[in-house]
A and B are shown apart, each in its own frame.
Chain A
């Protein structure tokens, strides 16, 4: 045990293996740090900034910050949570998110984070961008209105499916998701329902048709438990992290 390296996260001691980032080590040790574009199966790229923490006094994205021995990380503090609330408000204001009419409601990570972080107001004037739907594919609907530009579908399609169905186009606030076809339509790509890219969208952009309400609202993923508890279940656990911890039971 003596040669295990550790850092401090909100007063708790978190062990880590060389090469792990602060986020990876924290989740493996049953410590939750809010996140949106991070996914345990993909290389972190740190764009949403929801996971911003203070590491030795400097703010940084914890999903890309390499863990260092002796680091003092502050995450669950009002300053960081207030920042996260603003970032969630920004994402809501940037796209067109109408939760009551969205079939992803209850399964949506953005919405779940909004509840968990207690985002009670809009905060910003909404931009209401014009983003047409793509319903061209017989089995899949793309609703770009809800895209938060996390690039998980881009990464999944490229790294796991080997297809490159998705990419990001444009710059700045005009950045948007596109598909790999001269027509610009999903029906002309080689996407399949079994693709990893179909499973990773944290919000309601990539949807399988005709099953939207097969699980009733109220019985969905984040209707049951808050995202802070659910995220720990989803994270790969460290086999040698040793025994049980309260968070593993879903009670952070």
Chain B
């Protein structure tokens, strides 16, 4: 054995062997093994890596390589309490930066550093999916919501006294569902198994046909027709087939899957089982984002209930040969794993780097076998579509966007939370329902989506006009849209996987340029530089992350150019007074932002 033959060495080895046994000593489960190793030892120690490498017969460099990819896995001690403040723009708008500063001062620690006594470290992390009840943070992976100065003070007190997390007030960890508007999905009260019985009555092939007939499209944002995906997976040659539920809800401002997995988990699993019937899969995975770690045990008990009632396992609902079960894998803080091929890599225990496509996951997915990967909401909707019948389902929504959509509303509005609408609802209607006043812009579908300005509020959510994965962040007229875009640019730079040159370097350069402008040193040259980077990222990035990294800047530059230009030190030797910027208010009042409403655009 590689470890020293003393009490410490023996304890480490014994513990790691337990963890390895629980995961079948399979290197494909490396990410799950590393999670548990860290849970036990506090971080992934060099000893543990050497031991795991020997036991799994893989190079230790591969373990380091995988662990270092994920934000929530650590190769160095991070203190007994690891505090991560959610750094989405909505958290910032609710005062997260001041709260983090307060905590750092009270605990005598610099952001990003571990305290001298190894007690605590404080840093930021990407959106934790609690935008409707922020500011939020994670402490040792557990979500705490609704932070106030009072609450931060109490947390500091608990940390200083080394109070175990289990003894912290339960109220800190309370996550509200905040359901504000219900539709067919959130109203669902069907007995588990009903959709599956309907599917079994149809048979696999006709279930695919029914899904095609229903017009259901993927709810993750891209809107690929679900029926076509299932059909391609069903028809692809392979030795095994897999169903994967993407619950890596990482797009900042999105939290609808959190609520679905809390309220309608059984329906999501039912959709997955239906998919298994349709494509002929025996194994399913739910890839749960690390930020939702607190949902793991409740989800596992839902799975157990379904096994107990023969909705999972062998010969499901008495159908001979219909065997299917679902395993939950935990992510570890990597937004890119929401991209389906990166998710599959992660599921195989690797770095979450998007694959080159083609081939696509429907033919070469998990372990290179045909795999259907769908979003949590898509599986729920699929179950509903089969249960209520394709024609009834089609009647809801619009011609090309059938059914309903869950919208995660956050930002400047008195009623943030989950709103379910039939597709085709306008931005203005959502704003009215959530009580937003003086809204200036809405970021639809998160940083990689579209920034919609006031003059476009009549645009409709749906694949015909504004496709969305569900995020809906509202900004009122007190907000600086430049700062919003800068926050998003920082997000993309932090989440770039680093595989391809344009995204790895380009997102950092974009961040540099935005920071330079924010610091008051920008010139028009920097705006040209940003536009140049945008083109490079869009044309040559390996995946959608790089291609959409410039969206926030492009969209805010289009609608709110003065927010940028007001900050520039020089407009190519033009006078310091910005005539065009001075008209910004007038443009806002008249709702005009066309070229005729700009001075410099007219000149050039």
Contacts and interface: CB of A to CB of B under 8 A. Distances in A.
Interface of A: 45-50, 52, 59, 61, 64, 66, 83, 86-87, 90-91, 93-94, 124-125, 127, 148-149, 164-175, 178-182
Given A64-B356, A165-B61, A173-B505, 11 more contacts: A49-B502, A49-B541, A90-B506, A91-B505, A93-B505, A94-B508, A167-B62, A169-B65, A172-B504, A175-B504, A181-B60
B500 A180 contact: no
Given A66-B358, A87-B540, A172 B493 contact: yes
A125 B512 CA distance: 9
Contact of B501 (A48, A124, A127, A180): A48
B125 interface: no
Contacts of B498: 149, 170-175
Contacts of A127: 508
Interface string B44-73: 001001100000000111101100111100
Interface in B495-530: 495-502, 504-509, 512
Nearest to B49: A182
B540 A171 contact: no
A207 B308 CA distance: 62
Which applies to chain B's interface (DSSP): helix, strand, loop or mixed? helix
B500 A90 contact: no
A46 B502 CA distance: 12
A124 B505 CA distance: 10
A90 B533 CA distance: 10
B283 to A, nearest CB: 27
B60 A182 contact: yes
Given A47-B542, A59-B539, A149-B498, A171 B69 contact: yes
A167 B65 contact: yes
B532 interface: yes
Given A172-B507, A173-B508, A166 B61 contact: yes
A178 B505 contact: no
Contacts of A50: 501
A180 B53 CA distance: 11
Contacts of B50: 182
Contacts of B64: 167, 169, 178
B334 interface: yes
B509 A182 contact: no
B202 interface: no
B592 interface: no
A168 B502 CA distance: 18
A90 B505 contact: yes
B536 interface: yes
Interface residues of B, number: 40
17 contacts: A46-B542, A49-B542, A52-B540, A64-B356, A87-B536, A94-B504, A124-B509, A149-B504, A167-B64, A169-B61, A170-B498, A171-B68, A171-B71, A173-B498, A173-B507, A179-B61, A180-B60
Contacts of A165: 61
B59 A164 contact: yes
B58 to A, nearest CB: 8
A149 B497 CA distance: 12
B494 interface: yes
A30 to B, nearest CB: 25
B182 to A, nearest CB: 39
Given A64-B356, A167-B64, A180 B502 contact: no
Interface string B465-501: 0000000000000000000000000000111111111
Given A47-B542, A87-B536, A180-B61, A171 B334 contact: yes
Interface string B535-550: 0100111100000000
Contacts of A61: 356, 540, 542
Nearest to B65: A167
A97 B538 CA distance: 27
Nearest to A59: B539
A117 to B, nearest CB: 14
Given A86-B532, A172-B493, A182-B49, A91 B61 contact: no
Contacts of A87: 501-502, 536, 540
A94 B532 CA distance: 17
B61 A164 contact: yes
A125 B513 CA distance: 10
Most buried by A among B46, B69, B70, B505: B505
A91 B500 CA distance: 11
B540 A83 contact: yes
Contacts of A90: 501-502, 505-506, 509
Contacts of A93: 505, 509
Nearest to B539: A59
Contacts of A173: 493, 496, 498, 504-505, 507-508
A238 B64 CA distance: 41
A173 B508 CA distance: 7
Nearest to B75: A169
B539 A83 contact: yes
B497 A91 contact: no
B59 A172 contact: no
A198 to B, nearest CB: 17
Contacts of B536: 83, 86-87
Nearest to A158: B59
A172 B507 CA distance: 9
A86 B503 CA distance: 12
B493 A49 contact: no
B25 to A, nearest CB: 19
A9 B32 CA distance: 46
The 6 A-B pairs at the shortest CB distance, nearest first, are namely: A167-B61, A175-B498, A180-B61, A164-B59, A90-B505, A172-B496
A127 B506 CA distance: 12
B61 A178 contact: yes
Given A47-B499, A49-B542, A91-B501, A172 B61 contact: no
Contacts of B356: 45-46, 61, 64
A15 B358 CA distance: 21
B126 to A, nearest CB: 12
Contacts of B539: 52, 59, 83
A140 to B, nearest CB: 16
A86 B504 CA distance: 13
